[in-house]
Structure 1
Amino acid sequence: MLKHTFLISHRSSTQKLFHYILIVTTIFFGDALLTFWLPTYLQRTFSSALVMGLIMSVSSMVGLFVDFFFPQLFPDLGEKKTLNLTLFFQAVFIGLLFLTFSFPNIWIFVLAVAAWGVYFEFVSFANKIYVTDHIKKPLYTNAWAGLDFGKSFAYLLGPIIAGILVVKNNSHVLLLSLFTVVISQLLLTFFTDQKKKTDIALKSVIKPKIEIDHWRILLKNTWPIILLSFSISLTDATFWTSGTVFAETISQIYSYGVFLLPLYVAPMLISQVIMMKRGVAAAKEKKAASLLLFAGFILLIFGKLPIGAGILVATFAIGASIALALPIIEGLYSELQERMGFHSKHLIGLASSTFSLAYIIGPILAGFLSQNFGEQTTFSFIGCLIGINAMIIILFSNKKITLPQQEINTWDSIKK
């Protein structure tokens, strides 16, 4: 179905996009298994929602470090090598989790989630590099909808499969995740090409002050999209930490509780099919902010709903609004990256850092709120916060995001 959805001029480009989506969907499926299973495993091991949140946040702290140094260490890295690094660190993550069965030491968990943080940022970088290098500008939103469709499918199927496997044995979840790494590596070997050489060679340097200056310059103009990314990621982090615990808690009383997370992901498939076909041409940040405002309102209500069908309907509505907003935001990033040319990895680092920051704050905040107010009420607090963020964007952002192009052109590069 995906192969016939994208309106790309050449058949070979369509096939390459389909192959790429297949690879990253397989990677995300392995991650979805672990994302569903790990929070509950941590909470049972340490008997504390706060400790669970702190350990989970380490992955994003490491991810933030990767976001900061990736543009300087790997200024000219293509998507294939980036995905190879992704799979290496994903295998390390799984291996360390196997080790915790015999040695449930907190530092082994910390090392494991650190590897998690590295590989998740690498796959994010790979996706952004692929879209700007291989997709035509008018189709950025459509391509991102396709990538998000694959990711959503993985995160819909992953929790269901993990829920079945964990009843039998925790190791079954890890074995299947390891199998997806092997399959992903085989697909990557057969279906991708090496990055073509360009006329520009970029210096590989480590100068934190320079990167901070680059981010500061970009942030002045791109703050609306940065705030959008942060808010959506904060919501997602809450669902995949406190949400997993809440789902398991209510499923012990009501059998339909197991459908909570799948219902959060399921509407993303429907919404992203719409975005693949239609896309968004103008006022993208305002439209994304309006969708975020709606999600915030539903989250606010979610925390006060009685356990029942209303919870499931609200979850579906939140998932749908976020699914429509995500490809719009990613399309905006790709447009800005295209304008930045070979300096685009600095924007990729800044963009990815907002997701990392949300996943640092999200698990800790959700863990603290859950421990003091309960998992369900946590969603109301998060809804209030992202609703305020959405209103700020709607009221104070410009109609179009601009970039200081002349200043960007002076950043480090050398011609071959």
Structure 2
Amino acid sequence: MQSKTSALYAVGILTFFFTIFDGILAYVVPVTIISQGYSKTALGFILGTSSFAGAIGDIFLSKFLKTSNFRRLFLAMYACALLYVTILSQANIIILYLLAMAFWGLYFDFKSFATFNFVGRFTPHRLHALSFGIIDVFKCLGYVIAPIIAGLVIIGTVTDQPFIIAFVFLIFSLISYFGLILLTKKIKEQGLLKKKNYGLLLEINTWRRLGKIIWPVLIFTVLISINDSFFWTVGPLISEQLSQVSQFGWLFLTLYFLPTVIVGWFVGRITKRFGKKRTAFVSFALGSLFLTLIGFLGNSWLILVFIFISSSFAAIAWPASNAAYADYIEESPHLEQEIEGVSDFAYNFAYVIGPITAGVLADTFGNSMTLTIFGVVGVLVCIILLVVTPKRIHVPNRI
């Protein structure tokens, strides 16, 4: 048990360094694209390319990965990340941005598959929510630090410096990965079942039937992922705006991620008492309620406070919903790849339409009001899900 706990924290450290790498570049991309004269709508379409590539990747990864192996999946993630930062650092035309975004989407696919595999295979059912909560703490700690680094490095224009710093953190993450390999050598891998070689059409049909069973969680996945994509699309722009009127404007994205570092440790207790789906829906509805006020606040300090409160509730929803997927995997191990694939497809679908929608709304209503509009949608969707979602969702071994 101690070795499994050590491995879990190794995944957390790996994730910590990797999210600093990712967060620095995620901050840089919108600022760079807008500074080159592109509209926010164009920015949204460019960012959406990453998830379109990821959505296509979901279909083929689910089909061709016969057995899950987090070691190979993480290694593929690093390969795509290296290509991403290399191309992005040289990008000066839209084709290069689109190519870089494609690799961005692919490495998120590999990261998601690897993390689900590790938690589903190396932690017991009762600790799934806690495990995702711990990993999310490390992830969001990285995303708390990344905007600070990016904000301090980017002064007026984007130079090579943020790319070099991001690459250094990618190397740190890779070193942590090798440490994880050593820790898991003696851990018995249970439940790694050989996957049947379905045809592509049958694979998609399996996704369709699976979607009919777990549709409330999939809809929520789309909702919460769109929320995140909105923040990564207009968040750096809002941060730059706030920095012009307040010396603490750079805290905007930091305060968006900071709550998970605090609440992630307690998610397991909350879901055990109230249930995973109910916890996710209610917490995100409350977070969205505070988000509806952002567009009407003129004081920069009030904006920062409300973002922190909103994100505190939303921070509970992420690991709670992820734990629900891990439960389905443990309940129906033969459908592991399909569950991972359809959930990741939902993420990518959201990250395709999210940035595009955010860009259009930002061009039309402004950056802050874009978050307000989404807040209204978030409250309404969560209320509907609370009413219509079955208390118990059972995924059979064969569908």
Question: Where on the TM-score scale, by shorter chain, does this alignment land: which range?
Answer: over 0.9
The residue aligned with 1:92 is 83
The residue aligned with 2:64 is 73
Contact 1:280–1:328 (8 Å) recurs in 2: no
Structure 1 CA distance for aligned equivalents of residues 191 and 259 of structure 2? 40
1:116 to 93, 96, 104: 104
Structure 1 CA distance for aligned equivalents of residues 27 and 382 of structure 2? 28
1:134-173 aligned at under 5 Å gives the runs 134-167=122-155, 170-173=159-162
Q: Which moved more, 1:308-317 or 1:131-140?
A: 308-317
Alignment gaps of 5+ in structure 2: none
Contact 2:242–2:300 (8 Å) recurs in 1: no
1:209 to 201, 204, 220: 201
2:15 to 21, 24, 30: 24
Cα displacement string for residues 246-301 of structure 1 (whole angstroms, at most 9, x for unaligned residues): 11112112222111111111111111122256653553212211112112211211
1:183-332 aligned at under 5 Å gives the runs 183-192=172-181, 193=184, 196=189, 200-204=193-197, 207-275=199-267, 279-332=271-324
SS in 1 for 2:332: helix
Contact 1:283–1:400 (8 Å) recurs in 2: no
Cα displacement string for residues 324-365 of structure 1 (whole angstroms, at most 9, x for unaligned residues): 111111111100011111321101111111111111111100
Contact 1:78–1:126 (8 Å) recurs in 2: yes
User: Aligned letter for 1:303?
Assistant: G
User: Aligned letter for 2:51?
Assistant: S
Alignment gaps of 5+ in structure 1: 1-9, 409-416
Structure 1 CA distance for aligned equivalents of residues 373 and 246 of structure 2? 25
Percent of aligned pairs sharing the same letter: 25
SS in 1 for 2:17: helix
Name the TM-score, length of structure 1 as normaliser. Answer: 0.91
Q: Root-mean-square deviation (CA), in Å?
A: 1.8
Structure 1 residues 376 and 200: alpha-carbon distance in aligned structure 2, compared to 1, 3 A threshold:
closer
Aligned residues: 394
User: Aligned letter for 2:323?
Assistant: G
Contact 1:46–1:52 (8 Å) recurs in 2: no
Matched, 1:175 2:164: yes
Matched, 1:333 2:325: yes
Q: Which moved more, 1:299-308 or 1:29-38?
A: 299-308
Cα displacement string for residues 139-197 of structure 1 (whole angstroms, at most 9, x for unaligned residues): 00000000100100000000101111222852111111112222222222232146959
Structure 1 CA distance for aligned equivalents of residues 209 and 122 of structure 2? 27
Matched, 1:371 2:363: yes
